[in-house]
Chains A and B, each alone.
Chain A
């Protein structure tokens, strides 16, 4: 049986040739991401902002302006109403009011919304929880990155560890930047997606680094520039294949998995692209810039 090969054997792309271009591009995008973060902020979901979320579904399409006029009589403050998946579903978001108890207001709101269709779900997050969730989310990302830094440092050398972690930070900043720029809702599941991206991107980077380390032992005289290039090319087929199957699964989830996890899946899809790019173009080039200890043989030859 003839098998498909996405990447031909003996492919030899001079990845490090694009070093300046890709690094400049990445730094620029990171800069824009941070800029957008300061300018636009993130479109926090109620997990992080506190407030009320209600999903209503009906047999027929729901007229949003009718819903708005009915709810405005309740004096709820900032109310956001939008379609969710189809015209038959709406999502009502009410920002946390500083004064009132959100939980007790909920039944008043649902009593009105029930006129438009079935209440599918309700969520109320108090301000105490939302600020805690932000802290926990940041703590989770920092500790994941920190633990990886440590693990790679133990298994490899500090240059690898630093390069990999810089690439990770790059991935996280750009993903958050995209969420900020397009004002896609940023909620708890996005934090989960970010952590998975961190894991995925690191996984990719480790495979490349592992090959670099192996080649460092094998070709002691080889120039580091060529050696990194060879290593990326040798692992390229695997990088592309794994990203492809992961994306197959993710797109299936995005298309068929329902509205509720769309945001999560979108973050993951973005992350897989960025993660694959960063392990090929950023992590290994950082290694070239940082330089590595060449004499690995001493650990190996007993």
Chain B
């Protein structure tokens, strides 16, 4: 075990240099040509920033589907003069009651025709949109689980894209947006210490539309008598109510640009917007037909403003005045540019770390690591003398390897991650301790130095392997089940275990072998 061929020695030397090479940028402020410039990726807890865990509200998607299915069935039945009653949404879809028994079969046929099927690339079976349960006059349409799942999945992807566009509007660096599980999104924004700003941007689905205000009756009249079926009551931020037509003139999907700006006359913050050509045409037509009447600009069922159309707006662009502050105008323009979310987002978890705290953590973590390292180094020298010196060399090399591998993998270093490194410093010497204790045993069994070292290494290999695999199992479990900072801990611990076995078992063995074969000492002081 102590005879290394020259090629093996060179190979090990190369590995050590690669480790140094990879770790180097972390210790040097200057960029040297040909050297890698990847440094360790610091986690949010070390560099400060905001972390949000969001969930796409799938129930709202399901409700939207049920609602639009209901509208479809209503219009189909009306068109075909089917007499029905009790058309309503239920938990998993809609239900309807056919009043005329003679029309049941016709109704069934119409329902079946409106049952769109969807298939996708990843599954061969074709999913019908809903299943039909028919009991005499009662039809129950249940939305298909698989086709809903498909919708949820695409809603999450779409949400990620829209969140990205919204966050980009903030001008922050390196935001990370990841899907987590089925319907969750993990958002990390380094350097952001105002989570409210983020939440303002993500708290709205930002469905914008333009509709006419219903002026046929006054709002009070409507409330006292009956709200016309074509209209509904919506209010603005101050609670002022409007009777607004349900029909949408132009929706926000037709927007191509929105910019915050100031009104030239009043200097109030406003948002300028521009439609695409089709949206511009709709808007021009609607405004030409309704000069002198008020229309409402509605965002997520809240009226932003309801100006009166003075002249037809033909250019496809306009402005929204809503008594905004500068920041509100800015946020609205970002929201409009990014587009609407397919469903509301729920904030499940949020964390924000100030940049000062992050720096403190790095400093205290680093000093703990250095002090811990020095204590261990001294103790090992005192315990094992020359052998301890070799073990210490391996220990320092081990830390360099950990830093190098973390930089290479671009893994994220968190505060628990630093704790993992410090813990590794304490535990990494274990392999050497096992070996050196073995060598001591062999010396006490009256073995000659070279054969004592030889058998010390060969006998402890199995033990070291078993002992470290069990620790590795624990840290892998942490890696797969942990989140955030805890995952960072698992990463450094796992890397540390593997590199410590390598440095302790291979590198110290090489050093000791080179020394012992050259000097051939009569006895070992160990």
Contact = CB atoms under 8 A, between A and B. Distances in A.
B375 to A, nearest CB: 4
B347 interface: yes
B367 to A, nearest CB: 5
B351 A123 contact: yes
A196 interface: yes
Contacts of A202: 467, 470-471, 474
Contact of A191 (B371, B427, B486, B493): B486
A5 B433 CA distance: 12
Nearest to B488: A192
Contact of A9 (B383, B418, B440): B440
Most chain A CB atoms below 10 A, which of B352, B459, B468: B352
Contacts of A70: none
Interface string B467-487: 111111111011001100110
B372 A207 contact: no
B90 interface: no
B426 A249 contact: yes
A32 B437 CA distance: 38
B354 A121 contact: yes
B202 to A, nearest CB: 10
Nearest to A188: B486
A107 interface: yes
A120 B474 contact: no
B376 A118 contact: no
A239 to B, nearest CB: 9
Interface in B414-439: 415-416, 418-419, 422-423, 425-427, 429-430, 433-434, 437
B372 A248 contact: yes
A199 B473 CA distance: 7
Most chain A CB atoms below 10 A, which of B350, B351, B433, B467: B467
A203 B430 CA distance: 10
B475 A199 contact: yes
A122 interface: yes
A258 B364 CA distance: 6
Interface string A120-140: 111111101100000010011
A196 B382 contact: no
Q: Is the interface of B mostly helix, strand, loop or mixed?
A: helix
Contact of A4 (B348, B361, B382, B475): B382
Contacts of A256: 364, 367-368, 371
B22 interface: no
Interface residues of B, number: 79
Contacts of A4: 382-383
B361 to A, nearest CB: 6
Contact of B356 (A120, A234, A242): A120
A252 B372 contact: yes
Given A3-B385, A246-B426, A106 B470 contact: no
B386 interface: yes
Interface residues of A, number: 77
Contact of B477 (A124, A144, A249, A252): A144
B475 A242 contact: no
Contact of A238 (B360, B433, B459, B471): B433
Given A9-B444, A206-B470, A256-B364, A195 B348 contact: no
A275 B343 CA distance: 50
Given A140-B477, A245-B376, A124 B349 contact: yes
A3 B525 contact: yes
B315 to A, nearest CB: 39
B463 A207 contact: yes
B258 interface: no
Most chain A CB atoms below 10 A, which of B346, B348, B375: B348
Contact of B375 (A5, A57, A200, A252): A252
Interface in B430-455: 430, 433-434, 437, 440-441, 444
A128 B371 contact: no
Given A3-B382, A140-B482, A203 B349 contact: no
Given A129-B349, A203-B470, A242 B430 contact: yes
Interface in A14-31: none
Nearest to A111: B196
A3 B346 CA distance: 62
Nearest to A235: B437
B4 interface: no
Contacts of A245: 376, 379-380, 426-427, 429-430, 433
A242 B433 contact: yes
A121 to B, nearest CB: 5
Nearest to B53: A129
A198 interface: yes
A241 interface: yes
A260 B425 CA distance: 20
Contacts of B346: 126
B427 A242 contact: yes
A143 B354 CA distance: 35
Contacts of A249: 372-373, 375-376, 422-423, 425-427
Contacts of B294: none
18 contacts: A3-B385, A4-B382, A5-B383, A57-B356, A104-B199, A121-B351, A123-B352, A125-B349, A136-B481, A144-B477, A189-B489, A192-B478, A192-B486, A206-B467, A238-B437, A241-B429, A245-B429, A258-B360
Interface of B: 45, 53, 55, 193, 195-196, 199, 346-354, 356-357, 360-361, 364-365, 367-369, 371-373, 375-376, 379-380, 382-386, 388, 415-416, 418-419, 422-423, 425-427, 429-430, 433-434, 437, 440-441, 444, 459, 462-463, 466-475, 477-478, 481-482, 485-486, 489-490, 493, 525-526
Given A2-B525, A199-B473, A246-B426, 10 more contacts: A10-B444, A55-B357, A192-B416, A195-B475, A206-B467, A242-B433, A245-B426, A249-B372, A249-B422, A256-B364
A-B pairs with lowest CB-CB distance, top 6: A249-B426, A199-B474, A252-B372, A246-B426, A258-B364, A199-B471
Interface of A: 1-6, 9-10, 55, 57, 103-104, 106-107, 118-126, 128-129, 136, 139-140, 143-144, 147-148, 151-152, 155, 188-189, 191-192, 195-196, 198-200, 202-204, 206-207, 210-211, 214, 234-235, 237-238, 241-242, 244-253, 255-258, 260-261, 264-265, 268
